[in-house]
A and B are shown apart, each in its own frame.
Chain A
Amino acid sequence: MIHPREEQLALYSTGDLDPDALERIAAHLDECLRCRECADQFYQLQQVLATPAAEPDAKDLQNVRRRVMENLPRGVERRWRFEWAIALAALIALVIFLNRSLHSPAPLPVVPAQPVAAALLAQLPSSPIAIKELAMPRRASPRAPGLGSIALVARPDREPLIKIATTDPKIVILLTPSSPNEERTESNE
Chain B
Amino acid sequence: MTGALMLEQNLLHHWIERARAGDSSAFERLMLLHEKMVLRTAQRLLLNTEDAKDAAQEVFLKLYKNLGRFRDDGDLAPWLYRMTVNVCFDSKRKVKAAIPIDCAPDSHDAAPDPEKTLRAAEQRRLVFSAIERLPERERAAVVLRDIEGCTTAEAAAILGSSEETVRSQISTARAKIRKFVAERLSKASGGSK
Residues B174 and A68 in contact, CB atoms below 8 Å apart: no
Which of B98-149 touch A at CB < 8 Å? 102-107, 109, 120, 123-124, 127, 142, 145-147, 149
- Determine the main DSSP class of A at the interface with B: helix
Residues A49 and B146 in contact, CB atoms below 8 Å apart: yes
- Determine the main DSSP class of B at the interface with A: helix
Binding-face segment, A56-64, A90-98, A156-164: A56-64
At the interface, yes or no: B178 with Cβ under 8 Å from chain A? yes
* Interface residues on chain A, size class: 35 or more
Residues A65 and B124 in contact, CB atoms below 8 Å apart: no
By beta carbon, the residue of chain B nearest A54 is B106
Binding-face segment, B8-16, B53-61, B73-81, B85-93: B53-61
At the interface, yes or no: A76 with Cβ under 8 Å from chain B? yes
Residues A65 and B127 in contact, CB atoms below 8 Å apart: no
Residue among B36, B104, B149, B174 making CB contact with A10, cutoff 8 Å: B174
What's the tally of chain B residues with a CB closer than 8 Å to chain A? 51
At the interface, yes or no: B7 with Cβ under 8 Å from chain A? no
Residues A71 and B171 in contact, CB atoms below 8 Å apart: no
At the interface, yes or no: A11 with Cβ under 8 Å from chain B? yes
Residue among A48, A50, A68 making CB contact with B57, cutoff 8 Å: A68
Q: List 7 A-B contacts (CB under 8 A).
A: A14-B145, A45-B174, A49-B127, A51-B106, A53-B103, A54-B102, A61-B36
